[in-house]
């Protein structure tokens, strides 16, 4: 199975499924949903087989494929996955079927084409897989840009209030970032010997000034995508307007392209520039943690609140990346996975609550747990996972980031720790105002608030809860895949970890 073209098949399969779903009659919405779900489950099965086939301790990049595309420009369809890409591909494969199930009635309410909605979700899956699997810089850039299109239509056509404004803002921000990257990609091609192959470019010696400018072009694009402060303002609007399922993919996967891009391209290709810019990146990460958490506390819109929590979490990921220790780097990548699970669950549950109430305003709830106790319990669990409660997966990654950063930069780690306190404030206050306390009499008059989680919704939340608990107590299967890739990245930038203390080695802490 190691010779099977997993990455190209995984990239193409959702696109084929999208074409099948898109051409189904609009009068057969249930068939479109079933076909889309079946196709996403096929991708999940293939991803699981790929995970099992992965050789821990083997080559850094595995499942490599390369097919000619534009020979005159040195462009190829080159795919390869390291441990960081592999865990992100598994995250996509897990989330998409659950999002399709959770979105079963989202398109119905919009009065627009149901087949097109689910086809867009599959196209989005295709582009997400492609961007993490690409090992050719130009191919990565193409997927990076094309990925905007399905999400733009999901927000603009199927979103809620101010969906057009949010979709355009999302598209323009990302497009501007893409233009910076395009300039850097062209510059890299010129100085790199007219090739876009990642492995070849990683061996190129670039002058200091040129390297810093190229790093900045890539970093700006990734910082906007992530999003890091102060490039974050598009996310609350997009997350607030997008359908709950699309929003779960937006914050659960699409944003990770930014942090993945920094790890895959900014650090290995421009190591000296990365070290030169590191203090500024750490400052942006710390500011983002505190600033976004304070804004989350004051939100009255549930989806905007969750969006601001994501900005704060990305601050932790940024700190972990630019601390330049294997422990913090492993924590950052693990945080990317755990954030996708926890915040994806939180967005899906919030979407279920909003669908029942018909409003996203926290002030329109109050005591809802008395009417929908199971839904309220899942919301509480998702909130606790989001604030990184010990025993949940995000705690492990947040702990690794903080302890790995503390060994090299104590002030940054101490200030970032304040984000944990603020996270408890915005999560617990949100839960208290929505599901706890005195029952809002208006809720008893709404039919939707009399229905707790049904079987389909339980199937959506159960796998995410199970994974969050499992990885909270036993993250070793994931960290064993992540660690070698992070260690190789640290070697690319010529950074070694501080001497281990009595606390043990990096690997022991990660386990």
Contacts of 284 (CB under 8 A, 6+ apart): 223, 228, 229, 230, 315, 318
Structure tokens of 509? Answer: 């802490």
User: What is the pLDDT averaged over residues 27-38?
Assistant: 90
d(CA 51, CA 48): 5
| 358-385 residue pLDDT tens | 888 888 888 888 888 999 999 999 999 9
| 3-state SS assignment for residue 361 | strand
- Quick check: 495 pLDDT over 80? no
User: What is the pLDDT averaged over residues 122-150?
Assistant: 92
- Give the CB-side neighbour count of residue 379, counting CA atoms within 13 A: 29
DSSP string, 193-219: TS--BHHHHTT----HHHHHHHHHHHH
Q: Burial of 34 by CB count in 10 Å (0-12 exposed, 13-18 middle, 19+ buried)?
A: middle
| 257-303 residue pLDDT tens | 999 999 999 999 999 999 999 999 999 999 999 999 999 888 888 88
Query: Tokens 């492995």 map to which residue?
Result: 199
Residues in the chain: 511
Structure tokens of 383? Answer: 């909130």
Q: Burial of 14 by CB count in 10 Å (0-12 exposed, 13-18 middle, 19+ buried)?
A: buried
Q: How many CB atoms lie within 10 A of CB 218?
A: 26
pLDDT of residue 49: 94
pLDDT of residue 96: 94
pLDDT of residue 497: 67
DSSP state of 77: E
| 3-state SS assignment for residue 484 | helix
pLDDT band at 46 (very low <50, low <70, confident <90, very high): very high
pLDDT band at 110 (very low <50, low <70, confident <90, very high): low
d(CA 212, CA 288): 23
More confident residue, 495 or 452: 452
More confident residue, 358 or 402: 402
Closest to 110 in 3D by CA, of 40, 497, 118, 426: 118
Beta strands 62-70; 75-81: pairing state: antiparallel
d(CA 433, CA 41): 37
d(CA 65, CA 77): 8
More confident residue, 271 or 504: 271
DSSP string, 169-197: HHHHHHHHHHHHHHHHHHHHHHHTTS--B
Structure tokens of 282? Answer: 């750490």
pLDDT of residue 86: 95
| 456-470 residue pLDDT tens | 989 999 999 999 999
- Quick check: 109 pLDDT over 80? no
- Quick check: 320 pLDDT over 50? yes
User: What is the pLDDT averaged over residues 53-82?
Assistant: 88
Closest to 451 in 3D by CA, of 353, 360, 341, 384: 353
d(CA 341, CA 131): 19
Share above pLDDT 90 across residues of the chain, in percent, rounded to a whole number: 47
pLDDT of residue 238: 87
pLDDT of residue 439: 87
pLDDT of residue 502: 44
Closest to 34 in 3D by CA, of 95, 86, 112, 101: 101
pLDDT band at 440 (very low <50, low <70, confident <90, very high): confident
CB 288, CB 318: distance < 8 Å: yes
Give the end-to-end CA distance of the chain in Å, rounded to a whole number. Answer: 29
Mean pLDDT of the chain: 88
DSSP state of 368: G
d(CA 90, CA 265): 21
Taking CA atoms, 213 is separated from 208, 374, 466, in Å, by 9, 52, 44
Q: Could you tell me which residues are beta bridge partners of residue 197? A: 136
d(CA 486, CA 481): 9
pLDDT band at 446 (very low <50, low <70, confident <90, very high): confident
pLDDT of residue 383: 92
SS3 content of the chain, % helix, strand, coil (to 5): 75, 5, 20
d(CA 419, CA 50): 36
pLDDT of residue 499: 58
- Quick check: 500 pLDDT over 60? no
| 201-252 residue pLDDT tens | 888 888 889 989 999 999 999 999 888 888 888 888 888 888 888 889 998 8
d(CA 270, CA 123): 32
pLDDT of residue 473: 93
């Amino acid at each position: 199975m190691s010779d099977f073209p997993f990455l190209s098949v995984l990239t193409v399969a959702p696109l084929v499924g999208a074409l099948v779903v898109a051409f189904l009659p609009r009068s057969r919405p249930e068939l479109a949903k079933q076909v889309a779900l079946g196709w996403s489950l096929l991708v999940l099965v293939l991803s699981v087989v790929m995970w099992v086939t992965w050789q821990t301790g083997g080559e850094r990049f595995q499942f490599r494929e390369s097919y000619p595309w534009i020979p005159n420009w040195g462009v190829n369809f080159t795919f390869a996955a390291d441990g960081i890409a592999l865990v992100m591909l598994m995250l996509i494969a897990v989330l998409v079927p659950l999002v399709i199930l959770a979105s079963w009635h989202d398109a119905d309410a919009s009065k627009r084409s149901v087949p097109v909605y689910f086809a867009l979700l599959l196209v989005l899956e295709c582009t997400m897989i492609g961007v993490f699997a690409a090992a050719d810089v130009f191919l990565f850039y193409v997927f990076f840009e094309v990925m905007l299109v399905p999400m733009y239509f999901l927000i603009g056509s199927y979103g809620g209030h101010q969906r057009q404004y949010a979709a355009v803002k999302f598209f323009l921000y990302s497009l501007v970032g893409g233009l910076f990257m395009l300039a850097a990609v062209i510059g890299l091609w010129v100085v790199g010997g007219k090739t876009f192959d990642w492995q070849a470019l990683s061996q190129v010696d670039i002058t200091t000034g040129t390297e810093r400018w190229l790093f900045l072009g890539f970093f700006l694009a990734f910082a906007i995508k992530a999003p890091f402060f102060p490039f974050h303002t598009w996310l609350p609007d997009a997350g607030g307007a997008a359908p709950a399922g699309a929003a779960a993919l937006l914050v659960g996967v699409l944003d990770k392209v930014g942090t993945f891009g920094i790890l895959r391209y900014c650090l290995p290709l421009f190591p000296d520039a990365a070290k030169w810019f590191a203090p500024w990146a750490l400052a942006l990460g710390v500011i983002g943690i505190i600033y976004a958490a304070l804004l989350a506390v004051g939100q009255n819109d549930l989806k905007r609140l969750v969006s601001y929590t994501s900005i704060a979490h990305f601050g932790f990921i940024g700190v972990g990346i630019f601390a330049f220790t294997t422990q913090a780097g492993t924590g950052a990548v693990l945080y990317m996975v755990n954030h996708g699970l926890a915040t994806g669950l939180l967005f899906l549950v919030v979407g279920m609550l909003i669908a029942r109430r018909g409003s996203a305003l926290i002030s329109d709830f109050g005591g809802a747990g008395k009417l929908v106790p199971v839904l309220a319990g899942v919301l509480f669990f998702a909130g606790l996972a989001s604030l990184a409660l010990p025993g949940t997966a995000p705690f492990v990654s947040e702990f690794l980031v903080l302890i790995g950063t503390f060994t090299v930069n104590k002030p940054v780690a101490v200030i970032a720790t304040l984000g944990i306190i603020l996270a408890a404030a915005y999560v617990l206050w949100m839960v208290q105002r929505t599901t706890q306390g005195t029952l809002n009499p208006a809720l008893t008059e709404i039919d939707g608030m009399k229905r707790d989680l049904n079987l389909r919704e339980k199937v959506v939340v159960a796998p995410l809860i199970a994974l969050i608990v499992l990885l909270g107590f036993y993250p070793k299967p994931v960290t064993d895949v992540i660690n070698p890739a992070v260690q190789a990245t640290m070697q690319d930038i010529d950074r070694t970890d501080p001497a281990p203390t009595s606390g043990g080695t990096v690997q022991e802490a990660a386990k």
